[in-house]
Amino acid sequence: MLDLILKENKVLSNQYNLLILTSNEKMPDILPGQFAEVRVDGSPTTFLRRPISIHYVDYELNELWLLIQVKGDGTRHLAAMKAGESLNLLFPLGNSFNEPSHKDADVLLVGGGCGVAPLLYLGAHLKNKGYRVNFLLGARTKDDLIELCEYERFGNVYTTTEDGSHGERGFVTQHSVLNDANFDHYYTCGPTPMMKAVARQAKKTKANCEVSLENTMACGIGACLCCVTDTTDGHVCVCTEGPVFNITKLKWQI
């Protein structure tokens, strides 16, 4: 548990904010896919911590990035924070994405909505390890396609928007790169129907597929058993056994 200091609150669009946090202490080692349980102070209707994906870590600048989508009172309070304020985090929590099974693998990272959050740090990590990284990012309009230049640092970026204002028109599940190209490993986070579509594509081509789930949580450390998902091993906590699951472990109809 650590109090981090907000270095910068970047308004990315009317629903997304990027919180860049820092600390006098060195950031702990964080794996791609891990998350933080963020305490929201000063919001009477927000009782529990908010589980939020680690968006990016810059060890040189000792920065931790959290991507916030304003959904309710808790995230509205976070989005209204000012530089210099402190934020209490339990982190890093959960497991992480795994690397592809062989070198030089082509990987596709598919994100929809706020589900893009863990993919930036994952892409950075995979590029660093020498894999060929491709991002497929979807949003409703081009205004919600945020930080594309950040993703471009680590791989090819393909986009869809529902209104056709950027990239291919439609949902990410309809994009040609998902449906026509083959990859060795798929990683995805976002709405469940989208993740299932990616899982179907991976299954069809016998590729590996890992998904990051965002079940509602209380403790974040495996004590309360609230965030479970059904797996081949029965109910397991998404906060400790996940949030990343190989689709072969999940009891999804795909």
Q: Which residues bind another protein (CB under 8 A)?
A: 1, 39, 44-49, 90, 215-230, 234-235
Q: Which is nearer to another protein, 145 or 219 (CB)?
A: 219
CB of 241 to another protein, least distance (A): 13
| Short-list 217, 229, 221, CA closest to 91 | 221
Least distance from C-beta 194 to another protein, angstroms? Answer: 19
- CA distances, 109 to each of 12, 45, 116, 135, 237 (Å): 21, 35, 9, 5, 24
Which is closer to another protein, CB of 84 or CB of 234?
Answer: 234
Shortest CB 219 distance to another protein, Å: 4
135 alpha-carbon distance from chain centroid: 12
The nearer residue to another protein, 83 or 223, going by C-beta atoms, is 223
Provide, rounded to whole angstroms, the least separation between the CB of residue 21 and another protein: 19
Q: Which amino acid is at 146?
A: I
CA distance 215 to 247: 16
Of 68 and 93, the one with the shorter C-beta distance to another protein is: 93
Q: Which is nearer to another protein, 170 or 222 (CB)?
A: 222
Dist. CA 173–CA 230, nearest whole Å: 24
Residue 20 CB burial class (10 angstroms; 0-12, 13-18, ≥19): buried
Least distance (Å) between residue 29 CB and another protein? 14
